Chain A
Amino acid sequence: MSGFSVTSRSSSKAGQPWYGRRGFDEWSLGAILTLGIIGLFICVVLPIYTLLSKSVENKDGDFIGLANFVQFFETPSLFSSISNSLFIALLSTVIVTSLAFLTAYGISRTRIPFKGLFRIVLVLPILAPSLLPAISLVYLFGNQGILKDVLMGASIYGPIGIVIGSCFWTFPHALMIMLTALANTDARLYESAEVLGASPMRTFFTITLPAAKYGIISVAFVVFTLVITDFGVPKVIGGQFNVLATDIYKQVIGQQNFEMGATVSMILLLPAILTFITDRWLQRRQSALLTSRAVPWTPPIRKVVDKAFFALMIVVCVVILGVIAMAVYASLVTFWPYNQTLSFKNYNFDLMDGGGWDSYWNSIQLATYTALIGTGFIFFQSYLVEKLAGFKLLKWFFHLFAILPLAVPGLVLGLAYIFFFNAPNNPLNGIYGTMTILVVCTISHFYTVCHLTATTALKQIDSEFESVSASLKVPQIVTFWRVSLPVCMPAVLDIASYLFVNAMTTVSAVVFLYSYNTSLASVAVLNMDDAGDIAPAAAMAVMIMLTCMVARLVHWLLGNVILKHTQHWRQR
């Protein structure tokens, strides 16, 4: 048998059909993947590159090396923004990380009641634009604030306000990462510790904390980046306390100094990239940790501990609800503080800056397009990256481009989009000032998390589905439609809802890109606050929050009612 006469190797190559070993199926999907890469290249890589080159150019577009950076570091007021930014970001990071750890611990490691309810309340801030807490703080602690005396004469306008506001809106992000980190502890470790007679304290420091280590580090980096790149909160409540993010805004909007804006952007990119690299590194470490199968752990009854955590939960929830309630109340007061009768006067947005009710409908439109187009594009591209055979180099590039947006703050991306898409020699400059650029920018901005969500879900389905269907001569796209998509439906809904909510609440990227007929609700909040119409700004923020709540409710209904019907295969 094995002694079969040797056939010439070259003759076998001659038998290769013109399309190679890939069928039409794979080639066309490969072409779509290529289009996806080109799309990401245009929407992420090129704008960033343009921004980078702007930072080393003068107003006339001549290359001047690092002169802009030298100028930045020589301007004391600009330079002081760095230390301000660092201070705010570090303080917020410490506060949010510890609070998130404690609350996540309360949810996953204690026996307190109402965990589901607490969880819902704790993530509420994610549904509101980051400006909402800042506006609310004005009403709580401003000069006419109802709790002004609590500050004992200190002003809310400045670092105190920025830190509280930042903590409020970054907290849910931190909590969600922390919950995941704490969810993965092996009961067997706790049992061993108990058998070995370790004290609860010792168990905490030797098991609980180390297991959550990567989660904690990850949270710290994420919060740090979110805070240092956010300009909404410092803009509203920062007073004279300048931070890097508001500097960019001022350089560009106030002084028309685009080159300096680009320069500050590059500086802002540094912590973001550092975070990004650390996070990538951690993820690799963490996934190695989680390979073994853990036994779920049921927390013991610890009366004192449970009571303490219950109290903590109550306090945190009251603060969150209080901040939200204050914004809602303020939006309903006719003329704060002199006419406290309730009315919807402040919801008459058409008389204010910011684009009126049109901006609200524009936001709905943006969020809907972003959710539909974004989810479709991201999920299908992730599917191709995960499940299409071959095209290794393309996939590598795709993954790189898909991860990149995580390292680019919205403010930087928005600025990059102006430079890139408004260049007269760019054939795509027709989309400048349209809804399209807002949709493209928003999808790009939030690409990474969606891509990773999709990838994670896709990784969980059997890698042999495509091989099986190919062997059954079923085109891969049919298998995508009949199997992969339905199986990943929960993840698809997550992505859509994530995109919708973020498109509703985001300010940072789109603030540079909206135009007369595409003004947005979130930007309107900023502009109304800017013009001193704080109550209407609160009203619009409340509208955004309510809309996001409705979106989440729809998501929940789809996930729990409709999907339950179509996903009963999940039950045994």
Chain B
Amino acid sequence: MSNKAYLELNNIDQMFGTYQALKNVSLNIKEGEFVCFLGPSGCGKTSLLRIIAGLDTPTSGSILQAGKDITYAPVNHRDFGIVFQSYALFPNLTVADNIAYGLVSKKFSANDRRVRVTELLATVGMSGSEGRYPAQLSGGQQQRVALARALATSPGLLLLDEPLSALDARVRAHLRQEIKQLQEKLGVTTIMVTHDQEEALTMADQIVVMNQGVIEQIGTPQDVYAKPNTPFVAEFVGEMNFLSAEVSGVGVMQSAGLTLRCDQSSHLTIGDPAQLAIRPEDVRFQTEGEEDNKMNAKVLHLEFLGSRMRALLELENHERPILADISMNEMAELNLIQGQSVVCQLPHDRLHVFGGKA
């Protein structure tokens, strides 16, 4: 896919006793890319990060960084900076000493160090905090210092292990933007581990969705959201309604009492079990024009979510209710109330088809 990979992971397996944490993971990352490893806890994303950092060794497979095999290289022979969830700031050292920690061994002069620290603090927006101690900083500030420390030695690779999960929501949203901007400015190849799909969607160039030790999908945020490869990705990234179905014809699915048209799926033949999936915001109520996949539904429940309204719909001829999100503008026109019947549509180009049973 890419002509020049900065980091190559080839067939990485990781065993902990009999438990296989990573199964044949292969991945290429281009220079300057921001990649998110996304998945629920225990999916192997942190294991993968630790292998890249050299904190763990893969059972088999190889890692190449800038063309050099680093599979078995000790941590301090590798070229990366890392920010942990806990920040791991040295509590007894000042902000300046923390940031300059890696510069001492790089044979920076005291003056160079000072200049570099000032520069980095400016970069992370904390100028003038040199003499403070970590305990005197807020969580967000500690986060920035940790970032500055990781960047101090200008590493080729920046590893972020759930860097925002310890912060409260408002700070998190704010830092998300800052980190992304900083990364773009510096152009440093960055891998971030997160379980927060929103974080991944907003920050990453590429998202690597992982589940149970395997990569489920690699793609841009738009791809991953709009074209999930597997039911897992579909469900983990964003919200998704699932309906089990059976292929009943070319481009036709039968789900309980509903016959639904959908886009041609190449690998399924008639009679195969399948799952149909649709995002709540893709359910339509303004149904002029297209006639496919229309049906009657009953509003079971309405939930106000601020910018939109979430409706639980009971579909005619189907036992499984689905969720539908309605923008407040649309809502103003529809004027739905609980218990009301309504016509809705599951547009065929928005229906995802996955083979196999739920």
Residues of chain A whose beta carbon lies under 8 Å from any beta carbon of chain B:
1-4, 6-7, 9, 11-12, 15-17, 19-23, 25-26, 389, 461-462, 464-465, 467-475, 478, 482-483, 486-487, 566-572
Q: What residue of chain B has the Cβ atom nearest to residue A566's Cβ?
A: B92
Q: Mark B136-172, 1 if CB is under 8 A from A, else 0.
A: 1000000000000110110100010000000000000
Q: Does B27 contact A (CB under 8 A)?
A: yes
The answer to whether the Cβ of B218 comes within 8 Å of any Cβ in the partner chain is yes
Knowing A4-B26, A465-B90, A467-B53 are in contact, say whether A569-B81 is a contact too (CB < 8 A).
Answer: no
Partner among B71, B92, B105, B149 whose Cβ is within 8 Å of the Cβ of A567: B92
| A569 and B218 within 8 A (CB) | no
Cross-interface CB contact of B72 among A21, A472, A568, A569, cutoff 8 Å = A21
Q: Which residues of A contact B92 (CB under 8 A)?
A: 483, 486-487, 566-567, 569
A contact face: mostly helix, strand, loop, or mixed: loop
The reply to whether A464 and B88 form a contact with Cβ atoms under 8 Å apart is yes
Q: Specify which of B72, B159, B218 lies most central, judged by the most chain A CB atoms within 10 Å of its CB.
A: B72
Q: Are B55 and A467 in contact (CB under 8 A)?
A: yes
Interface residues of B in 92-131 (CB under 8 A from A): 92-93, 101-102, 104-106
Q: Does A7 contact B62, Cβ atoms closer than 8 Å? A: yes
Across the interface, A482 reaches (CB within 8 A) one of B2, B80, B93, B215, namely B93
CB distance from B54 to the nearest CB of A (A): 7
In the bound complex, what is the Cα–Cα distance between A2 and B5 (angstroms)? 12
Could you name 30 residue pairs across A and B whose Cβ atoms are closer than 8 Å?
A1-B1, A1-B28, A1-B218, A2-B26, A2-B218, A4-B8, A4-B26, A9-B60, A12-B69, A12-B71, A19-B74, A20-B72, A462-B84, A464-B86, A467-B53, A468-B84, A468-B88, A469-B101, A470-B75, A471-B76, A471-B80, A471-B102, A472-B149, A478-B105, A482-B90, A487-B90, A569-B91, A569-B134, A570-B91, A572-B135
Q: Given the complex, which residues of A lie within 8 Å of B88, measured CB to CB?
A: 462, 464-465, 467-468
Q: Which residues of A contact B149 (CB under 8 A)?
A: 468, 472
Bound: A23/B102 CA distance, A: 17
Q: Which residues of B contact A22 (CB under 8 A)?
A: 74
CB distance from B344 to the nearest CB of A (A): 37
Does B61 interact with chain A (Cβ within 8 Å)? yes
> Does the CB pair A471–B53 fall under 8 Å?
yes
Chain B: which residue is nearest A569 at the CB level?
B133
Instruction: For the A-B complex with A4-B8, A23-B77 known, give 5 more contacts whose Cβ atoms are closer than 8 Å.
Output: A12-B71, A21-B57, A462-B88, A467-B88, A470-B75
- The listed residue (B2, B73, B84, B91) touching A467 by CB distance below 8 A is B84
Whether B313 sits at the interface, judged by CB under 8 Å, is: no
Report if B65 contacts A (CB, 8 A): no
B259 at the interface (CB under 8 A from A): no
Q: Which residues of B contact A467 (CB under 8 A)?
A: 53, 55, 75, 82, 84, 88
The yes or no answer to B10 lying at the interface (CB within 8 A) is yes
Contact A472 B136 (CB under 8 A): no
- Cβ–Cβ < 8 Å partners of B73 in chain A: 17, 21
In contact, A474 and B101 (Cβ under 8 angstroms): yes
Contact with A along B2-15 (1 / 0, CB 8 A): 10000010110000
Q: Which of A11, A15, A471 contacts B82 (CB 8 A)?
A: A471
Tell me if B27 and A21 are in contact (CB < 8 A): no
Q: Which residues of B contact A468 (CB under 8 A)?
A: 82, 84, 88, 149-150
* Chain B residues in 8 Å Cβ range of A3: 1
Distance, CA A569 to CA B97, complexed state (A): 13
User: Separation in Å of the A486 CB from the closest CB of chain B?
Assistant: 5
A465 to B82, CA, bound (A): 11
Q: Which residue of B lies closest to A14 (CB)?
A: B69
CA distance A483 to B94 in the complex (A): 11
Chain B residue with the shortest CB-CB distance to A5: B10
Which A residues are CB-close (under 8 A) to B91? 461, 487, 569-570
Question: How far apart are the CA atoms of A26 and B75 in the complex, in Å?
Answer: 10
Interface membership of B78, Cβ < 8 A:
yes
Give complex CA distance A475, B8 in Å. 27
Given A17-B72, A23-B75, A467-B75: A472 and B8 within 8 A (CB)?
Answer: no
Closest to A17 in B: B72
Residue among B1, B2, B75 with the highest chain A CB neighbour number at 10 A: B75
Q: Which residue of the partner chain, among A20, A473, A478, A568, contacts B106 with CB atoms under 8 Å?
A: A473
Are B93 and A473 closer than 8 Å at their CB atoms?
Answer: no
- Tell me the smallest distance from the CB of A483 to a CB of chain B, in Å: 5
Among B32-77, those with CB < 8 Å from A are 53-55, 57, 60-62, 69, 71-77
Q: A391 → chain B, closest Cβ, in Å?
A: 14
B105 CB contact (under 8 Å) in A389, A461, A472: A472
A483 touches B90 (CB 8 A): yes
